[in-house]
Structure 1
Amino acid sequence: MPTLELQSSSATRSPLQRQLGVWLFAAFSVVGGIAASHAQMNQNEDLSIELIDPKVLRVCADPRNMPFSNEKGEGFENKVAELFAEKLQKKLDYAFYPGATGFVRNTLNAHRCDVIMGFPQGDDLAQGTNPYYRTTYALIVKHGSGLDDVTTLEDEHLKHKHIGIVAGTPPATYLTIDGLMADAKSYPLMIDTRVDSSAEAMINDLNSGVIDAGVLWGPMAGYYAKKAGSALHVTPLLKETGGPRLVYRVGMGVRASDQNWKRQLNQLIRENQPAINKIMLDFGVPLLDENNQPITAETASKSP
């Protein structure tokens, strides 16, 4: 509108007024060009502002926490990170730190890396993406032990059995409610994964007969059962009521300020869900859909 007014009234204006109009028109053009340039710059550099290095996918990870991650890149979180790095056409790099107290503070929040590959929904230590898998705690027993058909922790077949449980985890509450804690063997929750593994210790005790059954986070139970071939049997605990929930959605964790990065990760999850599911099924992870039905190789395109 300003240029139209200048053009329509130029015949009646003095030379000074006409020159002033030219200056104003030029000023509008310059300001508009600068604004457009800044808009384009911001659009292109949003991730440059949020990420440590926009050319590198920098992942926060535990150096020794199979089946999730390790320094050799053998965990399923490593494999999902490799998939994303390929899709983003970026180099992949890690900031390793034991998955214990201070992990988020010393990795993501210290700007040593830009994403935690496994982050439970509802945890407020970081901002979560959309979930890319849904799983549950599980009961793991020896095949032929007489416990293969047990589906709940209140089952009478578990009475007076020695059950392994990681202290402080949600299923410990059910063991207490069901009167199983007196005969249970407890394993520490907070450990230095560089030198210890509660899950591995529990599986070793199960194989040697020290315990009759174990209750583990689903990805761990599925992974160790798959490694054992047909020796171990895993039952997802989906029928428990009256205590804390045992089924959780897991996404990725980013800094609270990294909104564009979060959106890009959400898009990657959405576009690559079948490939993600296949990676996790290869590790024996008991994946669940929203109806608590197992996701299998045949239904791998489902989202959590």
Structure 2
Amino acid sequence: MPMLEPQLCATTRGPLQRWLGVSLLAIFAALGGLAASRAQVNESGDLSIELVDPKVLRVCADPRNMPFSNEQGEGFENKLAELFAEKLQKKLDYAYYPGASGFVRNTLGSHRCDVIMGFPQGDDLAQGTNPYYRTAYALITKQGSGLEEVTTLEDEHLKDKHIGIVAGTPPATYMAVDGLMANAKPYPLMIDTRVDSSAEAMIKDLTSGAIDAGVLWGPMAGYYAKKAGAALHVTPLVKETAGPKLVYRVGMGVRPSDQNWKRQLNRLIEENQPAINKILLDFGVPLLDENDQPITLETASKSP
């Protein structure tokens, strides 16, 4: 997302809107008119009425928002789009727009594309499909730091620690309540992704020792921790219940009028869940089942 990063006050694109970091935020940007879509009611199932081009899978995406998407097609949402294009036997094309305010309005809402690949469940800027993964904000620590077993932000082991946090995201509320903000290092929520990455900056500070731990939206935490090459530990924050949601379901976003298209995407998600899970796990996304237990490669055939 995300898209963007969730911040239901705001992905995560959101379990999200760069409320889930910097990725789902795009989705939560004001829609300012998404839907005066097509007034025609389509009961026939004819997708030519709903889609920009029924022969092309046209995806709305951020041009530089790893691990979600980029113009080089390297993100996991790019890989999911490739999977769906193959299953639909369609050409794949993108409408790129920076994941910030106006993302939905200037892509999906302007009929430049037909689907946002990562969209937090519960957001009303567009119509969501069934979710294809469930994840959470996560605490990132160094192996051997003594913090690997910490599962909540109120844990006494975090007192007096320097913790990185993306300003304005839901975990910041918990950190404030738990008295962790005095020593916290904030990273900006709204950035120009063409030149900056709060997630990369946080991981760099963690590996260098400038901070003792960091809190990021799950997909970003898992991806950048894996990419860092250092021994980093990622713990989804699934036990926090006294404040904003930190666990989210993520699906895809379509126009409210495009109900036949939504049903087709729902079928694709259901039929291809094992392949979807594998793509996400390959990118380090910490997947959770409905009991907040981790989904691994061994259990990846199960639904989110």
TM-score, normalized by length of structure 1?
A: 0.84
Correspondence for 2:265: 265
Partner Cα separation in structure 2 for residue 261 and residue 158 of structure 1: 47
Correspondence for 1:35: none
Report the Cα offset of residue 229 of structure 1.
3.7
1:161-180 deviation line (CA, Å, top 9, x unaligned): 11111111110100001000
Partner Cα separation in structure 2 for residue 50 and residue 194 of structure 1: 32
Report the Cα offset of residue 143 of structure 1.
1.2
The answer to which of 181-190 and 51-60 deviates more is 181-190
Report the Cα offset of residue 147 of structure 1.
1.1
Correspondence for 1:134: 134
Partner Cα separation in structure 2 for residue 269 and residue 241 of structure 1: 29
Instruction: Tell me the secondary structure at the aligned position of residue 153 of structure 1.
Output: coil
Correspondence for 2:189: 189
Instruction: Tell me the secondary structure at the aligned position of residue 43 of structure 1.
Output: coil
Correspondence for 1:43: 44
Partner Cα separation in structure 1 for residue 201 and residue 230 of structure 2: 19
Corresponding position: 1:53 with 2:53: yes
Amino acid at match of 2:298: E
1:108-153 deviation line (CA, Å, top 9, x unaligned): 1011110000000011111100000000000001111121111110
- Cα distance 1:212–1:66, how it changes in 2: closer, same or farther (>3 A)? same
Report the Cα offset of residue 230 of structure 1.
4.9
Report the Cα offset of residue 42 of structure 1.
6.9
The answer to which of 256-265 and 182-191 deviates more is 182-191
CA contact (8 A) 2:205 2:211 kept: yes
Instruction: Give the superposed CA RMSD.
Output: 1.2
Partner Cα separation in structure 1 for residue 56 and residue 97 of structure 2: 19
Partner Cα separation in structure 1 for residue 106 and residue 86 of structure 2: 26
Correspondence for 1:108: 108
Instruction: Tell me the secondary structure at the aligned position of residue 44 of structure 2.
Output: helix
Corresponding position: 1:162 with 2:162: yes
Correspondence for 1:34: none
Correspondence for 1:24: none
TM-score, normalized by length of structure 2?
A: 0.84
Amino acid at match of 2:237: L
Within-5 A mapping of 1:81-100:
81-100=81-100
CA contact (8 A) 2:203 2:228 kept: no
Partner Cα separation in structure 1 for residue 141 and residue 293 of structure 2: 21
Correspondence for 2:77: 77
Within-5 A mapping of 1:110-125:
110-125=110-125
Partner Cα separation in structure 2 for residue 301 and residue 127 of structure 1: 26
Structure with a larger share of its residues in helix: 1
Partner Cα separation in structure 1 for residue 184 and residue 43 of structure 2: 57
The number of equivalent residue pairs is 263
Correspondence for 1:15: none
Instruction: Tell me the secondary structure at the aligned position of residue 261 of structure 1.
Output: helix
- Which protein is bigger by CA-based radius of gyration? 1
Report the Cα offset of residue 192 of structure 1.
1.7
CA contact (8 A) 2:207 2:230 kept: no
The answer to which of 47-56 and 142-151 deviates more is 142-151
